């Protein structure tokens, strides 16, 4: 743990998320993407306070394919976009061939008056069926 004399020093313990949520999504192989170019999957929302600034970080943590010849999904299959000053949406932008299990991570970091205030993390498990129906 770090010793701090001002707000510029944040210990590693304080950087750990204050809360975790675990979310599960299942869909068919090669799901059709709408004409908009994306299919919304998951939204994360921060506080509504105008003095609070939020930063979103998105990662693809792991991919496990279930059959030989299945093309594994990459981060390029997903898109993170801001839908408001305090919220972001993860969308699917390319059809995913199944079967495969994908783990995504979305972290929301809070800043109040320019000072770090904490974070929360959503772990999103996406299960893609081998079937297209």
73-129 tens-digit pLDDT: 999 999 999 999 999 999 999 999 999 999 999 999 999 888 898 999 999 999 999
Q: How far is CA 44 from the centre of its chain?
A: 8
Tokens 């090669």 correspond to what residue? 30
Separation of first and last alpha carbons in the chain = 52
Residue 9 has a pLDDT of 57
Fold of 17-128: Immunoglobulin-like (2.60.40)
Domain chopping of the chain, boundaries: 17-128
pLDDT, one tens digit per residue, over 36-50 is: 999 999 999 998 887
Q: Are 129 and 99 in contact (CB under 8 A)?
A: yes
Q: CA-to-CA distance for 93 and 38, rounded, in angstroms?
A: 5
Least confident of 2-11, 48-57, 99-108: 2-11
Residue 75 has a pLDDT of 97
Read off the pTM: 0.86
Given a cut of 70, whether residue 12 has pLDDT beyond it is no
């Amino acid at each position: 743990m770090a010793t701090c004399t001002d707000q510029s020093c944040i210990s590693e313990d304080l950087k750990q998320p204050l809360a975790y949520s675990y979310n599960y999504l299942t869909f068919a192989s090669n799901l059709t993407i709408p004409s908009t170019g994306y299919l919304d999957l998951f939204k994360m929302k921060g506080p509504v306070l105008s003095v609070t600034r939020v930063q979103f970080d998105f990662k693809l943590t792991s991919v496990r394919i279930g059959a030989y010849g299945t093309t594994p999904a990459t981060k390029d299959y997903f898109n993170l976009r801001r839908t408001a000053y305090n919220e972001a949406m993860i969308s699917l932008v390319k059809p995913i061939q199944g079967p495969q299990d994908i783990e995504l991570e979305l972290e929301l970091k809070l800043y109040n008056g320019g000072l770090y205030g904490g974070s929360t993390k959503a772990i999103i498990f996406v299960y893609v069926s081998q079937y297209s129906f």
